[in-house]
Amino acid sequence: MDHIRVTRRARTALAIAAGTVLTAVAAQIPANATAAPAAPHGATAASIARHSSISVGAYDDTYYKDAVGKTGQALKDALHRIISSTQTGKLTYSQVWDALKDTDQDPANSANVILLYTGRSQSKTANGGNPDDWNREHVWAKSHGDFGTDTGPGTDIHHLRPADVSVNSTRGSKDFDNGGTEVGEAPGNYTDDDSFEPRDEVKGDVARMILYMAVRYDGGDGFPDLEPNDQVGNGTQPHIGRLSVLKQWSKEDPPNAFEQRRNQVIFDKYQHNRNPFIDHPEWVDAIW
């Protein structure tokens, strides 16, 4: 167990170092830079890396202009107005299948998607309900607020990801926290009775998806007011924890090329809104 934890810390250090380089590159981009178009099907890893280099600051003079410079509740309110008013594309639950085949496409194999918890590259057509198929994982578990799969939070692809069916079942509706027993089918993921810890490579992704949902859905539109808290075992309440751990995960695993491309594809082709914590991960601490 000690050897496993040391290895995981080493991977975290590499992730932080990589994020520092990415931030340094992005900081050199003018604030009025134009975003790159969504990467085409079959894009190589190199092209996705180039595509993702325009991040911090690229939308500050346009999309985020009413949020820049704010902190706390004022920033959260501004971001809510921005990402809710620009979400002009809203999917049905059946349409989510095809959207995920695009947003989560394997950069090395355009016929496959990357599964969230296992990291496995799997055929886009191997989706369904069998144990080794992939299905639609609600990262903000839909039972936390009981919002179901109607168009709205239940179909918002900023928090929906392809996942192995049986691993998705293991996660269930548990809150997120550190610790537990390693998931045999998905090494690097851990779970216990009331929480789930994803693999290091997607910890930040999970945190930023949860925090996006908390900003996007604030009790309007007929949906519950989703809020993170610092506990587990939230049940059907519209809360997910553990906030302190999610904040740490966001720092340890900064946005990478895959996550940034995904944000861009959702913006360009599907919902037309953005996850602000991918563009500005520092806003996590500015609000919470």
**For the segment 227-281, what is each residue's pLDDT rounded down to a tens digit?**
999 999 999 999 999 999 999 999 999 999 999 999 999 999 999 999 999 999 9
105 pairs with which residues across the strands?
Answer: 113
Q: Within its chain, how far is the Cα of 233 from the centroid?
A: 21
| Nearest CA among 186, 204, 185 for reference residue 262 | 204
Q: Is the pLDDT of residue 174 over 60?
A: yes
15 pLDDT band, cuts 50/70/90, is: very low
Q: Residue 276: what pLDDT? A: 98
Q: Is the pLDDT of residue 205 over 50?
A: yes
| Nearest CA among 177, 184, 173, 145 for reference residue 249 | 177
Q: Residue 34: what pLDDT? A: 32
For residues 212 and 201, give the distance between their C-alpha atoms in angstroms, rounded to a whole number.
Answer: 19
221 pLDDT band, cuts 50/70/90, is: confident
Residue pair 234/175 in contact (Cβ under 8 Å)? The answer is yes
Q: Is the pLDDT of residue 17 over 70?
A: no
| Nearest CA among 256, 274, 266 for reference residue 49 | 256
Q: Is the pLDDT of residue 24 over 50?
A: no
57 pLDDT band, cuts 50/70/90, is: confident
For residues 113 and 102, give the distance between their C-alpha atoms in angstroms, rounded to a whole number.
Answer: 8
Q: Which residue has the higher pLDDT, 233 or 17?
A: 233
Q: What average pLDDT does the segment 189-209 reach?
A: 98
Tokens encoding 187: 């090494």
% of the chain residues with pLDDT over 70: 81
Q: Is the pLDDT of residue 49 over 50?
A: no
Element (H, E) at 105: strand 105-106
For residues 266 and 257, give the distance between their C-alpha atoms in angstroms, rounded to a whole number.
Answer: 14
Q: Which residue has the higher pLDDT, 35 or 171?
A: 171
Q: What average pLDDT does the segment 211-227 reach?
A: 95
Give whole-number Cα distances, 268 to 40, 164, 219, 263, in Å.
Answer: 12, 27, 26, 9
Mean residue pLDDT across the chain: 85
Give whole-number Cα distances, 188 to 118, 172, 179, 242, in Å.
Answer: 8, 17, 11, 19
| Nearest CA among 189, 165, 186 for reference residue 177 | 189
Q: Residue 19: what pLDDT? A: 42
Q: Residue 84: what pLDDT? A: 97
Q: How many CA atoms lie within 13 A of 235 on its CB side?
A: 2
Residue pair 10/72 in contact (Cβ under 8 Å)? The answer is no
Q: Residue 39: what pLDDT? A: 35
**Which residue type sits at 184?**
G
